[in-house]
């Protein structure tokens, strides 16, 4: 079965807007490795879904948007805006660059590059 990696990643990013970690599950390889710039690496789908459950509980609103996206075979690079709002706060537009590696039709490696200091400033 042929996989459209562009559509796969776009649908994955859209799923974040539901704030339901279970919606992310079908997109992730069982052995996915996630690296968020400045944080420890997370290995495995279950650990990654648990991390996102915690994030979804923390933020009142999550609005992810893809600005630009480029695909080269099994590698997808996406410029994104992560709209995040803490309870009672405004939505902060956090710019992000993500790199996804697709294996067997699922995301097997995912690296996010965001300026964490600037993100904290926007959220305060």
Distances (CA, A) of 38 to 16, 17, 48, 114, 118: 21, 24, 16, 9, 13
What is the tens place of the pLDDT at every residue in 63-113?
999 999 999 999 999 999 999 999 999 999 999 999 999 999 999 999 999
Share of the chain above pLDDT 70, in %: 98
C-alpha neighbours within 13 Å on the C-beta side of residue 123 = 19
Of 49, 27, 31, nearest to 107 by C-alpha is: 27
- pLDDT for residue 22 is more than 50: yes
pLDDT band at 7 (very low <50, low <70, confident <90, very high): very high
**Residue 14 structure tokens:** 């859209």
Residue 33, pLDDT score: 98
């Amino acid at each position: 079965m042929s996989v459209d990696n562009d559509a796969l990643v776009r649908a994955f990013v859209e799923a974040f807007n539901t704030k339901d970690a279970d919606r992310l599950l079908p997109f992730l390889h069982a052995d996915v490795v996630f690296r968020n710039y400045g944080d420890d690496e997370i290995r495995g789908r279950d650990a990654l879904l648990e991390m996102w459950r915690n994030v979804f509980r923390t933020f009142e609103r999550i609005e992810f948007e893809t600005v630009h996206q480029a695909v080269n075979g099994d590698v997808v690079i996406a410029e994104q805006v992560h709209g995040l709002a803490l309870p009672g706060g405004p939505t902060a537009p956090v710019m992000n660059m993500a790199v996804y590696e697709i294996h067997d039709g699922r995301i097997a490696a995912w690296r996010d590059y965001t300026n964490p200091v600037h993100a904290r400033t926007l959220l305060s």
